[in-house]
A and B are shown apart, each in its own frame.
Chain A
Amino acid sequence: MATLVRPAARPLTSLPRSQAMTGLWSWIITVDHKRIAVLYGATAFIMFLLGGIEALIMRLQLATPNGQVVDADTFNQLFTMHGTTMIFLVIMPLSVAFFNYIVPLQIGARDVAFPRLNALSYWIFLAGGIFINLGWLIGQAPDAGWFGYANLTEKPYAMGLNTDFWLLGLQILGIASILGSLNFFVTIVNLRAPGMRMMRMPVFCWMTMVTNILMLLAFPVITVALVLLMFDRQFGTHFYIPSGGGDPQLWVHLFWVFGHPEVYILILPAMGIVSQVLPTFSRKPLFGTPFVIYSGIAIAFLSFGVWAHHMFAQGLGPTADAAFAFSTMAIAVPTGVKIFNWIGTMYRGQLHFTTAMLFSVGFIAMFIIGGLSGVMHASPPADLQQNNTYFIVAHFHYVLFGGAIMGLFSGIYYWYPKTIGRLMNEKLGKWHFWLMMLGFNLTFFPMHWIGLDGMPRRVYTYPEGMGWDSYNMAETIGAFVIAVSILIFMYNAVWSMRHGAVAGNDPWDARTLEWSIPSPPPHYNFEEIPVVTAMDDWWHKKYGDTGHEAAHGAPAAPPAMAGASVDHDVHTEHAGHGGGGHHIHMPDPSYFPIILAFGMFVMALGVITNYWICLVGFCFVFAAIYGWSFEPVSAPEPPSGSAESHPVHETPRTPVAAH
């Protein structure tokens, strides 16, 4: 048994360290991965509503030719912020919310490897999200597109603060992403339960790991691109300015070297979710699990080799065009492998069409459509017609909304019972799904036609007589149908918190470890860290190793396992000290993360106002780093004779040999 002796020296920071577990303050200083996940999810959802409103206003403007709802300037801000918000402030943080909540539970860990770093990632994300939206307050929201092509973003073309809000906000968000990725990567590498070799790890965790590796390697590139732009704007350099010898093409390359891996960052987590949901509701293991995993790795690897397919209309020349066309078509192959494996999972399964399942199946269907139009863009000659038209808009909304967002909703319906302890209402869920499918397809399918017919992107209006009027009107109606479906979802989410059916540990009779613990999980997750013997370990613990009887439903024998608490049926309303967990000591909360994030926010403000303010912000950052490095993971306790302490990393288990 391990004992922990606290450091004899007094910690440098003599400010009191709060141990609050309830109340607003506890949320601000929390380092619990489950709470941080909720923070990410809630913030991302609010941003989803914001981005959605931006979309609705655009759709109102475009519903009729020569629309008068907003002027061109405002429209530019709307489409820029809609794209930036949905990508960086919605899909990514929603994915991170799932990483945060589910990965430690699925690998049998008590928390992530660096809980305070986890909190820091959230607060920096919030700082970035607020900062990038500050422009709205002065009517100067970013307006150069979510991809900010130089030299439209340079002075004298972009004299206002719009682009500054954008590039500073994105730099802050980039830091949050990198810090988060470091954390999840180390967590997955190092905190798996005993016996959980890599190939026994749930596919969602695999996709998480791959996504985080992509983030670690791609975000530094956009950071540099943004830094160079910032220097152009603030310090008179000419990196992207032709009259100074620079080249706008450099921005385009650097942006898309980041941008393409970024779109895989957006889709892989949703693919991971679908890979968990489908087997559960088909009562069959995922078909060809190793192939799904290897395909995910292949997609990530190839994603760094296709970026210039966003540049087919830039005049790269035939050699470059051909090379990137080839690699782009190649990357469709592992994607296709995954799709066939998902379909194979459902084939001859005992299908239960819960809302989560509907969204996963919807994901497959919509992603196929989006993927097909994507492969059409892969041909440079074809892309020359499609580029910059609504055909492209159709493509990416099918993969990002029909794909990523629907996959994420699938995850919400699937894991809501685990986090809240109650099931969401299925009837409302189905209304949500079908209305969303209807609205989504009504909005985005006609875009294929008008795109090929020549309607350009990013235009604030279009003339009469182009033949686009009725399609645009239909698309606007579809957008509002989507909005209604989301209102239904929101009502469902709130209603179910009080009135949903009590979930119990394992309402879906699912396959992975998170379903072996109470809903919601106690503060420490697992009373005893499980020992893993197979992929889909929870299923094996319930039903033993006989292969296909799982498809027939009823458990063959009462579950015999170490560590699962199915029999206890503990409904803990509060995290923490219920059941037998009182000997488990989790890391204590800290206020340094939010101070650090605040400092970064102030620094960014300083860049656009006064550099002295930068210095003030830096002081906060520096002080926070210093205080943090001297703050122990857990606050000092009086050493007690009999009680034993188990810090989060010292779990009583035999060390695992490297896989």
Chain B
Amino acid sequence: MAATHIQHEEHHPSARGYVKVATVLFVITIFEVAVYYIEPLRVLDLLAPILLVLSALKFCGIGGWYMHLKMDHKLFFVFFAAGVVLAATLIIALMALFGELLEPGKPIISMNTELQRIAASAKPQAEEPATPAGGLQPYINPKDIGNVELGREFWIMKGCTGCHMAPNIPGGGQIGPNQGHFSQRPTIAGGVLPNTPEAVENWIMDPQKYKPGTLMPNLSVTEQQAKDLTAFLYSLP
């Protein structure tokens, strides 16, 4: 019985049958590539659904005929289908959670995009009386350095509170110094740089350059962002 087990297993397609399946798969692939070049489909957002359907057909062709799922015991289909279904669910779920499902290629959670959005929608600063410094350092009006409100936003978005506390900002870590009275400090970066707006901007943009091995990481800050952050720091009481 065991020796005949192979033969009686199921109705194998013949070699001709396999070639037929291969031809169908071949043709579907040609369709896929052709569809790729049809501009109107892309514009109408139909490219993705069509290609996914065609791929699914190829998937079924290979799985059903080449891998014999169609003719074999249905348990194999169950084992494989479980993996495929969960796989597809995972891909879709992660795409949805990262905002890729509805608008592919346009990330909505990317921090850089958020920062750009904030900068683009920045309102002009309200005119407030400048706070006199009353200390060792000469007074510099923060608004002359950059946009204080934007700087405050960047301070939070960039995660500076992870290491620093600052007045009127909730929370804050204790790894770096508390930024209260920032404008009154004679030096910054642990005494390495003088406390001038320019030095502060340079330091924010590339801490490692001025103090190699410092714990302050490079946060990919643009020059304008650095200016705004400096303005914010100088505005702190």
Q: How far is the CA of A213 from the CA of B78 in the complex (A)?
A: 12
Contact of A243 with B97 in the complex, beta carbons under 8 Å: no
Over the window 61-97 of chain B, the binary record of Cβ atoms lying under 8 Å from chain A Cβ atoms (1 yes, 0 no) is 0000000000001010000001100100110001001
Contacts of B86 in A (CB 8 A): 217, 304
Asked if B18 is at the interface (CB within 8 A of a chain A CB), the reply is no
Contacts of A213 in B (CB 8 A): 82
Contact of B73 with A217 in the complex, beta carbons under 8 Å: no
Query: From residue 213 to 238 of chain A, which have CB atoms closer than 8 A to chain B?
Result: 213, 217, 221
| Closest chain A residue to B1, Cβ basis | A655
Could you tell me the distance in whole angstroms from the C-beta of B207 to the nearest C-beta in chain A? Answer: 11
Asked if B36 is at the interface (CB within 8 A of a chain A CB), the reply is no
Could you tell me the distance in whole angstroms from the C-beta of A242 to the nearest C-beta in chain B? Answer: 6
Q: How far is the CA of A316 from the CA of B108 in the complex (A)?
A: 12
Contacts of B75 in A (CB 8 A): 189, 658
Asked if A247 is at the interface (CB within 8 A of a chain B CB), the reply is yes
Asked if A245 is at the interface (CB within 8 A of a chain B CB), the reply is yes
| Closest chain B residue to A304, Cβ basis | B86
Tell me which of B73, B94, B111 contacts A242 (CB under 8 A). B111
Over the window 237-250 of chain A, the binary record of Cβ atoms lying under 8 Å from chain B Cβ atoms (1 yes, 0 no) is 00000110101011
Q: How far is the CA of A247 from the CA of B100 in the complex (A)?
A: 14
Asked if A257 is at the interface (CB within 8 A of a chain B CB), the reply is yes
Contact of B218 with A243 in the complex, beta carbons under 8 Å: yes
Contact of B97 with A316 in the complex, beta carbons under 8 Å: yes
Contact of B109 with A249 in the complex, beta carbons under 8 Å: yes
Contact of B83 with A243 in the complex, beta carbons under 8 Å: no
Contact of B83 with A245 in the complex, beta carbons under 8 Å: no
Asked if B217 is at the interface (CB within 8 A of a chain A CB), the reply is yes
Contact of A217 with B110 in the complex, beta carbons under 8 Å: no
Given contacts A221-B90, A304-B86, A316-B97, contact A245 B217 (CB under 8 A): no
Contacts of A242 in B (CB 8 A): 111-112, 220
* Number of B residues with CB within 8 Å of any CB on chain A: 18
Asked if A253 is at the interface (CB within 8 A of a chain B CB), the reply is yes
Asked if B98 is at the interface (CB within 8 A of a chain A CB), the reply is yes
Contact of A217 with B109 in the complex, beta carbons under 8 Å: no
Asked if B118 is at the interface (CB within 8 A of a chain A CB), the reply is no
Q: How far is the CA of A247 from the CA of B114 in the complex (A)?
A: 13
Q: How far is the CA of A156 from the CA of B218 in the complex (A)?
A: 10
Contact of A247 with B98 in the complex, beta carbons under 8 Å: yes
Contact of A243 with B94 in the complex, beta carbons under 8 Å: no
Asked if B19 is at the interface (CB within 8 A of a chain A CB), the reply is no
Contact of B220 with A253 in the complex, beta carbons under 8 Å: no
Contacts of A243 in B (CB 8 A): 218-220
Contact of B94 with A245 in the complex, beta carbons under 8 Å: no
Contact of B111 with A320 in the complex, beta carbons under 8 Å: no
Tell me which of B83, B97, B217, B220 contacts A156 (CB under 8 A). B217
Contacts of B110 in A (CB 8 A): 245, 247
Contacts of A157 in B (CB 8 A): 217
Q: How far is the CA of A80 from the CA of B75 in the complex (A)?
A: 41
Contacts of A316 in B (CB 8 A): 97
Q: How far is the CA of A281 from the CA of B109 in the complex (A)?
A: 56
Contacts of B89 in A (CB 8 A): 304
Query: From residue 124 to 145 of chain B, which have CB atoms closer than 8 A to chain A?
Result: none
Could you tell me the distance in whole angstroms from the C-beta of B197 to the nearest C-beta in chain A? Answer: 24
Contacts of A250 in B (CB 8 A): 98
Could you tell me the distance in whole angstroms from the C-beta of A420 to the nearest C-beta in chain B? Answer: 37
The B interface is mostly helix, strand or loop, or mixed, namely helix
Tell me which of A156, A253, A304, A658 contacts B94 (CB under 8 A). A253
Contacts of A304 in B (CB 8 A): 86, 89
Contact of B97 with A245 in the complex, beta carbons under 8 Å: no
Contacts of B73 in A (CB 8 A): 658
| Closest chain B residue to A244, Cβ basis | B220
Contacts of B220 in A (CB 8 A): 242-243
Given contacts A243-B218, A257-B90, contact A320 B97 (CB under 8 A): yes
Contacts of A658 in B (CB 8 A): 73, 75
Q: How far is the CA of A658 from the CA of B218 in the complex (A)?
A: 62
Contact of B109 with A247 in the complex, beta carbons under 8 Å: yes
Could you tell me the distance in whole angstroms from the C-beta of A655 to the nearest C-beta in chain B? Answer: 9
Tell me which of A156, A217, A245, A249 contacts B112 (CB under 8 A). A245
| Closest chain B residue to A151, Cβ basis | B217
Contacts of A221 in B (CB 8 A): 90
Q: How far is the CA of A157 from the CA of B215 in the complex (A)?
A: 8
Q: How far is the CA of A235 from the CA of B200 in the complex (A)?
A: 32
| Closest chain A residue to B94, Cβ basis | A253
Could you tell me the distance in whole angstroms from the C-beta of B198 to the nearest C-beta in chain A? Answer: 23
Q: How far is the CA of A71 from the CA of B30 in the complex (A)?
A: 64
Q: How far is the CA of A436 from the CA of B89 in the complex (A)?
A: 43
Over the window 53-65 of chain B, the binary record of Cβ atoms lying under 8 Å from chain A Cβ atoms (1 yes, 0 no) is 0000000000000
| Closest chain A residue to B112, Cβ basis | A245
Q: How far is the CA of A554 from the CA of B219 in the complex (A)?
A: 76
| Closest chain A residue to B99, Cβ basis | A317
Could you tell me the distance in whole angstroms from the C-beta of A170 to the nearest C-beta in chain B? Answer: 20
Could you tell me the distance in whole angstroms from the C-beta of A237 to the nearest C-beta in chain B? Answer: 16
Could you tell me the distance in whole angstroms from the C-beta of B113 to the nearest C-beta in chain A? Answer: 10
Contacts of A257 in B (CB 8 A): 90, 94
Could you tell me the distance in whole angstroms from the C-beta of A317 to the nearest C-beta in chain B? Answer: 9
| Closest chain B residue to A311, Cβ basis | B97
Contacts of A320 in B (CB 8 A): 97
Q: How far is the CA of A257 from the CA of B75 in the complex (A)?
A: 26
Q: How far is the CA of A304 from the CA of B86 in the complex (A)?
A: 9
Contacts of A189 in B (CB 8 A): 75
Could you tell me the distance in whole angstroms from the C-beta of B159 to the nearest C-beta in chain A? Answer: 9
Over the window 199-237 of chain B, the binary record of Cβ atoms lying under 8 Å from chain A Cβ atoms (1 yes, 0 no) is 000000000000000000111100000000000000000
Query: From residue 153 to 171 of chain B, which have CB atoms closer than 8 A to chain A?
Result: none
Could you tell me the distance in whole angstroms from the C-beta of B116 to the nearest C-beta in chain A? Answer: 13
Contact of B97 with A253 in the complex, beta carbons under 8 Å: yes
Q: How far is the CA of A242 from the CA of B115 in the complex (A)?
A: 13
Q: How far is the CA of A658 from the CA of B109 in the complex (A)?
A: 50
Contacts of B83 in A (CB 8 A): 217
Over the window 247-262 of chain A, the binary record of Cβ atoms lying under 8 Å from chain B Cβ atoms (1 yes, 0 no) is 1011001000100000
Contacts of A217 in B (CB 8 A): 82-83, 86
Over the window 167-203 of chain A, the binary record of Cβ atoms lying under 8 Å from chain B Cβ atoms (1 yes, 0 no) is 0000000000000000000000100000000000000
Q: How far is the CA of A257 from the CA of B89 in the complex (A)?
A: 12
Contacts of A308 in B (CB 8 A): 97
Contacts of A249 in B (CB 8 A): 98, 109
| Closest chain A residue to B89, Cβ basis | A304
Q: How far is the CA of A658 from the CA of B75 in the complex (A)?
A: 10
Contacts of A245 in B (CB 8 A): 110, 112
| Closest chain B residue to A249, Cβ basis | B109
Contacts of A247 in B (CB 8 A): 98, 109-110
Could you tell me the distance in whole angstroms from the C-beta of A254 to the nearest C-beta in chain B? Answer: 8
Q: How far is the CA of A47 from the CA of B217 in the complex (A)?
A: 37
Q: A189-B75, A217-B83, A253-B97 are in contact. List 20 more A-B contacts (CB 8 A).
A: A156-B217, A157-B217, A217-B82, A217-B86, A221-B90, A242-B111, A242-B112, A243-B218, A243-B219, A245-B112, A247-B98, A247-B110, A249-B109, A250-B98, A304-B86, A304-B89, A308-B97, A320-B97, A658-B73, A658-B75
30 residue pairs bridging A and B, Cβ less than 8 Å apart = A157-B217, A189-B75, A213-B82, A217-B82, A217-B83, A217-B86, A221-B90, A242-B111, A242-B112, A242-B220, A243-B218, A243-B219, A243-B220, A245-B110, A245-B112, A247-B98, A247-B109, A247-B110, A249-B98, A249-B109, A250-B98, A253-B94, A253-B97, A257-B90, A257-B94, A304-B86, A304-B89, A308-B97, A316-B97, A658-B75
Closest 4 CB pairs of A and B: A243-B220, A217-B86, A242-B111, A253-B94
**Interface residues, chain A, with chain B CB atoms under 8 Å away:** 156-157, 189, 213, 217, 221, 242-243, 245, 247, 249-250, 253, 257, 304, 308, 316, 320, 658
